[in-house]
Structure 1
Amino acid sequence: MEKHENPTTEPMPIDLDGALSMLLCERAARVKAEAEAAHVQAVLSSSEALIMHLRLEIEKLRRELFGTRSERKARLLDQLELQLEDLEAAASEDERASEQASRLTDVTPHRRKHPGRQSFPEHLPRERRVIAAPSTCPCCGSHKLSKLGEDITETLEIIPRQWKVIQTVREKFSCRECEKIAQPPAPFHVTPRGFLGPNLLAMVLFEKFGQHQPLNRQSARFGREGIDLSVSTLADQVGVCTSLLQPLEALIEAHVLAAERLHGDDTTVPILARGKTVTGRIWTYVRDDRPFGGKGPPAALYYASRDRRGAHPEEHLEGWSGILQADAYSGYNGLFNPTRAGGSATVALCWAHARRQFFELADIAANARRGRTAQAISPVALEAVKRIDALFDIERTIIGLNDSERLRVRRERSAPIVADLEAWLREERARLSRASSVAKPIDYMLRRWEAFARFLDDGHICLTNNAAERALRGFALGRKSWLFCGSERGAERAAAMATLIETAKLNDVDPQAWLADVLGRINDLPQSRLRELLPWEWKTKRDVLSGPAAS
C-alpha cells in the first residue's frame, strides 16, 4: 500500500543549527498564537460585558417607563448587576492578559471602549502635585526652556479613616479679691463620663441601624485599626443615644399622625425570646404628600411588636382618622369600624398587590424556567395585567399634580377603564369554577371593589402602597445580616432609629451627617427649639447657610 506524505509536514532538520532554528520558529509561532488567543478572549469578554451592560440598561429603562412590575423585576436587576460586576472584572483581566501577551509579537492588543469619564465633583478638595520639569532640553541640552502650559491628570483617591483624640482644656482661675475658683463647664457627652464624640457615635448608629452591621462586627473592625471598643461599650453608647434622640422621634411621630393620608404595611422580624426566636413584626406608617403636590415633608414612622394581632395597628393609630393605604390584612379592620372612638379611618387598597396575584399566573419568563412542571399561562390573568397596567400608565402622567387636577384626569381617563375592568372580571368569574387558579385573585378584587375604586373619588389617594413597601425594604434586607433582634426592647430600639434614619433619607438628608450634628447640639437646645433639628428643618437651614458660600 502506497504511503502518502502530508504536504504540510516539514522535514525534520538533521543538524543542530537547523533544529535550533526550527525550535525558535515554533516558539515564536506559539507565542503569537497565544497572543492571538488572548486577544480573542479579551474581545469575547469585552463583548459579554457590553451585552450585559446593555441588558441592564434596557431593564432599567423598562422599569422606569412602565413601572415596577413585580418583586421579580427588582430581583432580576440585582442579578444582572452582579453578573455585570463579574463580567467587567473578567474583561479587565483578559484585556491586561492580551496586552502582556502581545508585547513579544506584532499582534495588536485589544483595547476596550470605555464610556467617557465624568469630571469629579467640585466640592472635593484638590491636592496639587507638580512633577518637576526638566532643567535642560532633552533634545539639545539647552537651558533656555519656556513654559507653554500644563496638563492636569485627576485621580480619585481616599484618605484612610483617621482616629484622633480631642483634648478639651479647661483652665482654672482664682479671684484675688474673693478667692473663688472659676472654670468653664466640661464638654457635653451623650453618656455620663463618656468619651466618644458625636461623629463616632453617629457612625456607629448609622452602621448598626442604617447599614445593618451588628456591633460585634464593628468592634472587630475597630480592633483591626488599633482601637479597642468592646461590644458592651458600644451597646451602652447606643442605648443612651436612642434615649437622647427619643424627643425627635416623638416629633416625627406627631408629624406623621397629623397626615390626612398614610401608607401602612408590616414585615416579619425574628426576635430572640427564651432561647428561641419568635416571629415579630415591624410596622411602618409613611406620610408622603409629594404625589399630589402636598407641602408636608415626607416622614416614616416605625413600631415593633411580638406578633401580628390587629390590636397593634389600633394602638398605633389611636385617635387618628384619615385615609389608610394598605393591603387587605384583616388586622386593619378595627380602624374602619364606624363606631370607633375618634372616628373611623377610610381604606384604600393597593392595586399593586392585586396585580401581583394575576402576574404570577401570567409570568411567561418564570413559567419557561419551570419546564415540564409549568402550568399553562392563564389568558384571563394576562388580560387582567394588561388592563391594570393601563391604569398605571395614566397615574404616571399625574404624579406631582394637585389633587383636583389628579381627580379630573382620573374621572376622564381612569374611570371608564375601571368600570370596564369590573364588568369584565364579573363576566369571567361567572365562567370559572371555584377550583380555578385565577378565581382567587378575581375574588380578592371583587369582594373589595369599593376600596379599590376609591381613588376615583379622591385625588389624595395613590394607586399603590409602594411607599410603605419601600420603607420596609431595609428590614427585609438587613435581617439577613443580623439574623434576629436580641429582645423586644431591641426591636423597639431598631424601630425608633429606623424612624429617624428613614425620615432623613426621605428628605434627601445624609443620615450620618445629620445624626452627628444632632448629637452634638441636642443637649444645648431648649425643648421649644427641638423642631430645628428635624431633618427637613435642618436641611432648609443648612441650604440657607451654604447658599452665599456656594455663590
Structure 2
Amino acid sequence: MTPQGLDNFSPPSDLAECQEMLGDLVGTLKQAFGRLDEKDEQIQELQQRLQQLLRAKFGRQSESIDPDQLKLFGALIDAPLESAEKTSETVVAKNGTKHGRRKPAKNLPRRRVVHELSKEELGCPGCGAERTAIGEEVSERYGYIPSCVEVIEDVRLKYACSTCQEHVVIAAVPNKPIPKGLADSSMLAYIATSKFADHLPLNRLEGIFRRHGADIPRSTMCDWMAFTAGLVTPIYEEMKRRILGSKVIWTDDTPVDLQDREHEKNIRQARIWAYLGDADNNLLIYDFTDSRKRDGPVKFLQDFEGFLQADAYAGYDGIYAGNLVREVACWAHARRKFFEAMPSNKAAASWALRCIQVLYRIEKRIAKNSPDVRREVRQGRSKKVLAIFKRWLDKNCVIELKGPLAKAIRYALNQWDALCTFTEDGALTIDNNKAERAMRAIAVGRKNWLFAGSRDGGKRAAILSSLIASCKLHGVDPLAYLTDVLSRLSSAKAPDIALMTPDKWMPVS
C-alpha cells in the first residue's frame, strides 16, 4: 500500500482479509523502519564528516581535553619517579621560549662598518679642541649577499725540462662528480638542496639561474640529479643497512602522483615510505614504490628483526606473521578516532580521551629518562591505566552500537595487543608521530613538484630526500654536506662510505 492509497482506505469486513492485510502492513513497516535506520546512519555519518571538515577548515587542530578531566588519575601522573631519581641523571628544565628581538647568531660572518664624525662635528663646543675616539657602541643588523653562479676555470700548467725542452708533464685536475661534465659538486649540491630541502621545482631554478646570467635548462638539471642520485646510492644503501639493524623501526607512507602514459589520465598513484632507525641508528630514509601493495614494505623489511611501529595498514600483517617482527600500534591514531566521535557522543568519547591523555602525561614525565626507567614506569603506571581503559572498552563494545564511537572502540580493541606493546620496552614510543613528521617534507614538496616523472625518477627523489632529511635530523647543513661528499665519492673506498652518512660525517678541512 502506497501513502497515496491511504486517503481512500477502507478496512475489509472479512476477518481473514483483515488478518492478511495486517500481516502485509507489519512487513511494510519493518521494511520502512529498516530503511529509516539506514538513512539515520547515513545522516549521522554525513554529519560527522561535515563536523570533521569544518573543524579541519575553521576549528582548533589540537586534540587536547580539559585538564580537570585528568584529576581522577592524578596519583598515577604526579607520583614521584623514585626509580627514575635513582637511576638517571637530573634533567635541568629548559626555560620557555623567549620572545622579543633575537641577536644574530655568532657563527654568521661579520662585516664591520665604522661610523665616524665629520670633520666639522669633531670640534668641542666647550673649548674648541678636536675630540678623539674614547670607545664605541656596537649594534647589529642583518644583511644579505646575493648568491651567484661562477665559472671555475681549471688551468693545468704544463712543465718541460728547461734544458732539453722534453719530458713534458701536466698537472692533474681533481676528479669531477660527473666525468667531463659542466657541474661542480657545489652546483649539484645546490640544485639537490633547493629541490628536496627547499622544495623548489626545477623550472623555478631555471629562472633563478637565468637571472644570474646562466642558461641551465631544467632537462640538464634533471640529468644532473639522476647522476647525483646514482653517485650517493652507496651512502643510501649504508643508511638502509644500519636502519635494518635497528631494534625499532618507525614507518609511515604518503601518496604521490606518478606520470604513467599507459594509465588513464596519464597519472596514477604511487607511494613514498619513510623508515626511521632507533637511537643508535638515527637515520631516515625514504623508499619509492609504484603502488601501496604490501610488496613494498615486505621487500624493504625482509631482513629486519625487531619492533615495527606503524599504522594499522593491513599490508604489514604478512610481516608480523613470522613472529620475527613485533607490531607496535600508534596511540595517536586511536586518540584521533575518539576525538572524531566527540560531536556524536561527547560523554563517552571524553572518557576515552581522558584515559589516553593520562598515558601521554606519563610519557611526558619520563621522556628524558633512560629506556630502563621508561619501561619500569610504564609497567607500573601505564599498564594500570590501560587496564582501566580496557574494562571500559569491553563494557561499551555493544554489537548494536554504530557510528563514530563504535568505530573508535572497535579500532582500539582490534589493535589492543599492539597498542600495549610500547610498555614492554623503553626504546619504544607511545605513537608513530616521528614517522608521520618525516612525511611532512614529502607533503610540502609534493605541492611544488606535483608528480614523479617516472619510476626511476621517484626512486632518485627518495634517495636524495633521504640524505637531506637525515642531515636535518642531525643539524647538518645539507648544502655543505652534499658539496663535500660529492667531491669525494668518486674516489671513496668502502670504509669511507660508512663515515659519509649524515650522522658520522665530518667535513674535510
Please give the range of the TM-score, normalised by the shorter of the 2 chains: 0.7 to 0.9
- Residue 165 of structure 1 aligns with an amino acid whose one-letter code is V
Offset of 1:115 from its aligned partner?
6.4
Q: Which residue of 2 aligns with 1:27?
A: none
Q: Which residue of 2 aligns with 1:287?
A: 277
What is the distance in 1 between the residues matched to 2:307 and 2:140?
53
- Residue 110 of structure 2 aligns with an amino acid whose one-letter code is R
Q: Which runs of 5+ in 1 are unaligned?
A: 1-70, 79-113, 290-295, 363-374, 546-551
Q: Which residue of 2 aligns with 1:168?
A: 154
Tell me: CA distance 1:516–1:351, structure 2 relative to 1, closer, same or farther (3 Å).
same
Question: What secondary structure, in the 3-state scheme, does the structure 1 residue paired with 2:308 have?
Answer: strand
Contact kept? 1:433, 1:439, Cα under 8 Å:
no
Q: Which residue of 1 aligns with 2:413?
A: 446
TM-score by length of 2: 0.76
Of residues 367, 384, 394, the one that matches 1:399 is 367
Of residues 189, 195, 204, the one that matches 2:191 is 204
Percent identity of paired positions between Structure 1 and Structure 2? 33
Would you say how many aligned residue pairs link Structure 1 and Structure 2?
414
Question: What secondary structure, in the 3-state scheme, does the structure 1 residue paired with 2:503 have?
Answer: helix
Q: Which residue of 2 aligns with 1:481?
A: 448
CA deviation profile, 1:457-502 (whole Å, cap 9, x unmatched):
2222211011111111111122111111111111111111121111
Of residues 312, 334, 340, the one that matches 1:354 is 334
Question: What secondary structure, in the 3-state scheme, does the structure 1 residue paired with 2:490 have?
Answer: coil
Q: Which residue of 2 aligns with 1:379?
A: 347
Structure 1 position 503 matched with structure 2 position 470: yes
Give 1:242-253 correspondences, 5 Å limit: 242-253=229-240
What is the distance in 2 between the residues matched to 1:115 and 1:468?
30
Question: What secondary structure, in the 3-state scheme, does the structure 2 residue paired with 1:536 have?
Answer: coil
Tell me: CA distance 1:144–1:528, structure 2 relative to 1, closer, same or farther (3 Å).
closer
- Residue 307 of structure 1 aligns with an amino acid whose one-letter code is S
Offset of 1:303 from its aligned partner?
0.9
What is the distance in 2 between the residues matched to 1:193 and 1:306?
34
Tell me: CA distance 1:319–1:73, structure 2 relative to 1, closer, same or farther (3 Å).
farther
Q: Which residue of 2 aligns with 1:8?
A: none
Tell me: CA distance 1:228–1:390, structure 2 relative to 1, closer, same or farther (3 Å).
same
Of residues 309, 318, 329, the one that matches 2:313 is 329
Give 1:427-438 correspondences, 5 Å limit: 427-430=395-398, 433-438=400-405
What is the distance in 2 between the residues matched to 1:75 and 1:464?
24
Structure 1 position 128 matched with structure 2 position 112: yes
What is the distance in 2 between the residues matched to 1:116 and 1:138?
39
Offset of 1:327 from its aligned partner?
0.9
Question: What secondary structure, in the 3-state scheme, does the structure 2 residue paired with 1:270 have?
Answer: strand
- Residue 317 of structure 2 aligns with an amino acid whose one-letter code is N
Give 1:226-241 correspondences, 5 Å limit: 226-241=213-228
Q: Which residue of 2 aligns with 1:311?
A: 295
Q: Which residue of 2 aligns with 1:269?
A: 256
CA deviation profile, 1:110-145 (whole Å, cap 9, x unmatched):
xxxx96533322222222222332334274682432
Offset of 1:161 from its aligned partner?
1.1
- Residue 168 of structure 1 aligns with an amino acid whose one-letter code is D
The range that moved more, 131-140 or 432-441, is: 131-140
Q: Which residue of 1 aligns with 2:487?
A: 520
What is the distance in 1 between the residues matched to 2:133 and 2:172?
58
Contact kept? 2:283, 2:503, Cα under 8 Å:
no
Tell me: CA distance 1:508–1:73, structure 2 relative to 1, closer, same or farther (3 Å).
farther
TM-score by length of 1: 0.71
Contact kept? 1:212, 1:481, Cα under 8 Å:
yes
What is the distance in 1 between the residues matched to 2:359 and 2:56?
21
What is the distance in 2 between the residues matched to 1:255 and 1:434?
47
Structure 1 position 192 matched with structure 2 position 179: yes
Offset of 1:536 from its aligned partner?
1.5
Contact kept? 1:297, 1:507, Cα under 8 Å:
no
Of residues 443, 461, 464, the one that matches 1:494 is 461
The range that moved more, 318-327 or 186-195, is: 186-195
TM superposition outliers: structure 1 runs of 4+ over 6 Å: none
Question: Higher relative CO (CA 8 A, sep ≥ 6), structure 1 or 2?
Answer: 2
The range that moved more, 529-538 or 201-210, is: 529-538
Q: Which runs of 5+ in 2 are unaligned?
A: 1-54, 63-97
Tell me: CA distance 1:460–1:177, structure 2 relative to 1, closer, same or farther (3 Å).
same
Offset of 1:177 from its aligned partner?
6.8
Question: What secondary structure, in the 3-state scheme, does the structure 2 residue paired with 1:164 have?
Answer: coil
What is the distance in 2 between the residues matched to 1:72 and 1:514?
38
Question: What secondary structure, in the 3-state scheme, does the structure 1 residue paired with 2:271 have?
Answer: strand
Tell me: CA distance 1:320–1:218, structure 2 relative to 1, closer, same or farther (3 Å).
same
What is the distance in 1 between the residues matched to 2:447 and 2:273?
18
Offset of 1:271 from its aligned partner?
0.5
Task: Calculate the aligned-residue CA RMSD, in Å.
Answer: 2.5
Tell me: CA distance 1:473–1:118, structure 2 relative to 1, closer, same or farther (3 Å).
closer
What is the distance in 2 between the residues matched to 1:421 and 1:245?
49
